[in-house]
Structure 1
Amino acid sequence: MSLLRTVWWFIFFFGYLLYSLPTLKKLKKLPHTLTEEEKREITHRLPKNWAKNLVQLTRTKVSVSGEDNIPPGPVLLVSNHQGNFDVPILLGYINKPFGFISKIEVKKIPLISRWMEVMECVFLDRTDRRKAIMSIRDGVEKMKAGNSIVLFPEGTRSKGSKMNEFKTGGLRLAIDSKVPIVPIKISGSYVIMEKSKWGFQPGNVSVVIGEPITLPEGKIDSKELAVQLQNVIEQLK
């Protein structure tokens, strides 16, 4: 990716956030006559457009298959995590409104944190177990209220095609809220940034969405669930 294109990417990144300020203010005054679903659609419209443009500016091609597998209503979207562009790829190319489980450090980034708050994202402090548990409980309440959330159970980027072991903590979101789990496999996103020596480089990314998994009644072993989900996602094609 040329230096000029890289500079333009960053200009667009921050410029669009400034452009979004009036919209942020308007979102606080949405008519009460709108349904919660309609409010979510309106709230996520601008960030989804921003995210898709960020990916397109790198000249990356994204293909999505299986979107019909996402059921209506709240779901936990569980995806592998290859690179930093996984977030804008999922946000920009999957139509359903959703928030993310994010590191607490992201709250320090101006404007982005404000948008994440209106999108009902959950901020997780991994250094404090008590706060982490409280964040998961907050996420469960958000999902019970109808919001969907994306979880990267690897916890960090794999920076390649091989997945890291899935962690169990975030799976409490689905176990406790009783929402369906939708498995997602991202392939090729690490090429855009993690494989680039500087800036970004074009990639060919595929996003495969599997059939939803409805959890059984009764006690669920989160470790077994993590292994099951990793196996399912690895086999998606």
Structure 2
Amino acid sequence: MPSSLLYFLKFLTNMLMRILMFWRFLYSIYFHLAKTLVIIFFGGSIILVCSLLTLFFVPRPIRETVSYHMGVAWGSTILFLSGIRVQFYNEAALEPGKHYVFAGNHQSSFDIYLFFKYLPQSFRWIAKKELLYIPFLGWAMYFMGQVFVPRSDSQKAAFALKKALEKIKAGISIAIFPEGTRSPDGNLLPFKPGAFALARLSRLDIVPVVIKNAHRVAPKGKFVLDPRVKVELKILKTLSHKDKEAAEKVRDYYLEELKQK
């Protein structure tokens, strides 16, 4: 076989392999993108309808119980559809009938679903107002009675804090991300003071919740999922709302857990 023909065949084979790899890459991207869209809009539409039905047709005395189980079902469904594997640990001895401030580190948009599935009691989110404008997710959270905080308006933020305190007085726990936003690389961001101020004002003890590897499943700024990564969620021992060093201790707990392999 002439060397020129052999060279041409090698070149052609190499080009075909590159084209196949490129198309495989595109397929992977669009498959994960389509899967993400289905999860968000299908799961979100279900919980939106259920939230409205609960709001208008479920009697008030049992509405909170129904809302809790609805949140568990929502979180479980989204995590199941996404294929995300979760390792769950619970070190907290929570007292029945007592309410808490659940404070978690924030790594991805899926942290919300992890909280809904694994927290052992009903709660309300203290969430940034921008979530309200996300189709289905934001609407569902609104009808479920979550508290949205505008970060750029201190007066409205104070009003939102007052609403949170009213919910606490009504016998509801609160969940909040002290960092205020997602970490793009999984490293801990500076804390906002709101979570710990809320614990002091409401006299609710703090339950640290640590999430690991979620930033690798659904990275900030990317609209695709990578379900090959195992996520860990751990509920740690409670801290008293009277502890003046609660913020520092929670941060130390997070750092200690996040550095463990």
| Length-normalised TM-score, structure 1 | 0.83
Paired with 1:233 and 1:197, the residues of 2 have a C-alpha distance of: 24
Q: Residue 184 of structure 1 corresponds to which residue in structure 2?
A: 209
Does residue 30 (structure 1) correspond to residue 58 (structure 2)? The answer is yes
What fraction of aligned residue pairs are identical, expressed as a percent?
26
Q: Residue 42 of structure 1 corresponds to which residue in structure 2?
A: 66
1:84-103 to 2 correspondence within 5 Å? 84-103=109-128
TM-superposed deviation, 1:165: 1.8
Paired with 2:216 and 2:73, the residues of 1 have a C-alpha distance of: 22
Q: Residue 230 of structure 2 corresponds to which residue in structure 1?
A: 204
The number of residue pairs the alignment matches comes to: 228
Secondary structure of the corresponding residue to residue 100 of structure 1? strand
Paired with 2:49 and 2:225, the residues of 1 have a C-alpha distance of: 30
TM-superposed deviation, 1:129: 0.7
> Is the alpha carbon distance of 1:139 and 1:21 closer, same or farther for their aligned partners in structure 2, counting shifts above 3 Å?
closer
Q: Which consecutive residues of structure 2, in runs of 5 or more, have no partner in the other structure?
A: 1-27
Secondary structure of the corresponding residue to residue 49 of structure 1? helix
TM-superposed deviation, 1:94: 2.6
TM-superposed deviation, 1:171: 2.0
Q: Cα deviation per residue 1:141-185 (whole Å; 9 max; x = unaligned)?
A: 211211111111111112233211212123222111101110111
Contact 2:124 2:147 in 1 (8 A): yes
Q: Which consecutive residues of structure 1, in runs of 5 or more, have no partner in the other structure?
A: none
1:110-125 to 2 correspondence within 5 Å? 110-125=135-150
Contact 1:120 1:142 in 2 (8 A): no
Does residue 7 (structure 1) correspond to residue 34 (structure 2)? The answer is yes
TM-superposed deviation, 1:84: 1.8
| Length-normalised TM-score, structure 2 | 0.77
> Is the alpha carbon distance of 1:3 and 1:57 closer, same or farther for their aligned partners in structure 2, counting shifts above 3 Å?
farther
Greater displacement, 83-92 / 227-236: 227-236
TM-superposed deviation, 1:76: 0.4
User: Could you tell me which amino acid in structure 1 is paired with residue 240 of structure 2?
Assistant: T
Paired with 1:98 and 1:190, the residues of 2 have a C-alpha distance of: 24
Q: Cα deviation per residue 1:28-72 (whole Å; 9 max; x = unaligned)?
A: 23235x3xxx43221132333222222233322111111653333
Does residue 232 (structure 1) correspond to residue 259 (structure 2)? The answer is no
Structure with greater helix share of residues: 2
Contact 2:87 2:231 in 1 (8 A): yes
Q: Residue 169 of structure 1 corresponds to which residue in structure 2?
A: 194
> Is the alpha carbon distance of 1:111 and 1:13 closer, same or farther for their aligned partners in structure 2, counting shifts above 3 Å?
closer
Secondary structure of the corresponding residue to residue 146 of structure 1? coil
TM-superposed deviation, 1:198: 5.8
Secondary structure of the corresponding residue to residue 182 of structure 1? strand
Contact 2:52 2:143 in 1 (8 A): no
Contact 1:175 1:215 in 2 (8 A): yes
